[in-house]
Amino acid sequence: MKKEFLTEEHILFQSSIREFLKSEVTPYHSQWEKEGIVPREIWKKAGEQGFLAISVPEKYGGLGITDFRYNSILIEESAASGASGLGFVLHNDVALPYFERYCTEEQKERWLPKMISGEIITALAMTEAGGGSDLANIKTTAKLEGDHFIVNGSKTFITNGILSDLVIVAVKTDSKAGAKGISLLVLERGMEGFDRGRNLEKIGLKAQDTAELFFNNVKVPKENLLGEEGKGFKYMMENLPQERLVLAVAAMGVIEETLRYTIEYCKERKAFGQSIGSFQNSRFKFAEMQTEAEIGRVFVDEMIRLLNDKKLSPEKAAMAKYWTTDLQLKVVDQCLQLHGGYGYMLEYRVARDYIDSRVQTIYGGTNEIMKEIIGRSMGF
């Protein structure tokens, strides 16, 4: 975010995040990428520092900070540091709002304190093998029998899928009611019939555990229903604008950091007796990227302001998500090109940013779906 958008308290929080990433994450991230997962201990350390679920009210042990600028600082700094394995953003900004908005008081007391401490890690399970963006046609079912729901089905591409202790699962409680037949259930680690498949092998985000989840006659207490039965699709639609803004904020973190270190590289790297950056082609590329980064920054900061004011519309969030993530791919690709052959080597940061960035235009709703949302809002 632009400095004029931040207070002194924001800047202090930013400094603490940077120090945490520098000391606790960056030195170990390459090893976590080899292992395909981050250790649970890093979650507890983040909880001790007050970086998890900061918006939760103080009576549950949280900080009660509802200013999304703080969340955005954590998102941007994590993205800029290359800490792509951390699932904090999914926990804080995608899953947590469901718990805050739709949980009963009993559920909040049971789950929120440990979500703040990092003892409980959360995940959101919507996507199925048959389709990702078409949420209305999910196949996982939950049939009420007595005081339990019996859940059958599967989900895939679930971030925090291996580590998660609580998973919000979108299910069909009424298979004949379409979108109005969808409900949200919270499944807990250890429930009989709830199995995790393999940690999926991806081209990027190597340290982030992304898994398949399987449900075979899982007995879920009625007390684990999130909100009201039949309103799951409505809840998901209400939360998607923030989820998509999260991706835009992360995109800006990567764009700005990739530009920064590529400019440094091109000033130092020589060819034909002069720095790479001094060639006209390089200057023009940097001019274009810097201009687009500036446009993206102004737009995303405005979207953060709208979210804080509870005025962020689905179409504005879709605009932010599609445009910034498209720009992220463009900028990282051009910066890799400016690194020459070294850009193709994984020991260089730009190569890792290149492969980690590719998924940005896919998850959270593909960018094609974002354009569909925007087009429909225009009356087409």
At 165-203, the pLDDT tens digits run: 999 999 999 988 989 999 999 999 999 999 999 999 999
Q: Domain span at residue 31?
A: 3-120
Same-domain check for residues 330 and 264: yes
- Please identify every residue annotated as catalytic: 243
Same-domain check for residues 216 and 275: no
pTM (2 decimals)? 0.94
Q: In this structure, what token pair is assigned to residue 123?
A: 């995940």
Is the pLDDT assigned to residue 380 strictly greater than 70? yes
**Number of structural domains in the chain:** 3
Same-domain check for residues 257 and 344: yes
Same-domain check for residues 355 and 247: yes
Closest listed residue to residue 327, CA positions, set 275, 251, 253: 251
Is the pLDDT assigned to residue 230 strictly greater than 70? yes
CATH of the domain at 62: 1.10.540.10
Return the pLDDT at 319. Answer: 98
Looking at 103, 120, 137, the residue that finishes a domain is: 120
Same-domain check for residues 240 and 367: yes
Return the pLDDT at 324. Answer: 98
Same-domain check for residues 148 and 216: yes
Which residues neighbour 252 within 8 Å (Cβ) at sequence distance 6 or greater? 76, 293, 296, 297, 300, 324
Same-domain check for residues 221 and 238: no
CATH of the domain at 224: 2.40.110.10
Same-domain check for residues 35 and 87: yes
Same-domain check for residues 239 and 366: yes
Looking at 230, 254, 287, the residue that finishes a domain is: 230
Give the CA distances from residue 226 to residues 102, 220, 234, 258, 339, in Å, rounded to whole numbers and listed in that order: 6, 12, 12, 40, 49
Instruction: Answer whether 70's CB lies under 8 Å from 88's CB.
Output: no
- The dihedrals phi and psi of 113, each to the nearest 5 degrees, come to -55, -40
What is the Cα Rg of the chain in Å? 21
Q: In this structure, what token pair is assigned to residue 74?
A: 């954590």
Same-domain check for residues 14 and 109: yes
The alpha carbon torsion through 73, 79, 85, 87 (nearest 10 deg) reads: 30
Return the pLDDT at 135. Answer: 76
**Whole-angstrom Cα distance, residue 83 to residue 244?**
19
At 48-105, the pLDDT tens digits run: 999 999 999 999 999 999 999 999 999 999 999 999 999 999 999 999 999 999 999 9
Q: In this structure, what token pair is assigned to residue 294?
A: 């500036």
Looking at 80, 104, 120, the residue that finishes a domain is: 120
Same-domain check for residues 248 and 285: yes
Is the pLDDT assigned to residue 130 strictly greater than 90? no
Is the pLDDT assigned to residue 222 strictly greater than 90? yes
Same-domain check for residues 247 and 347: yes
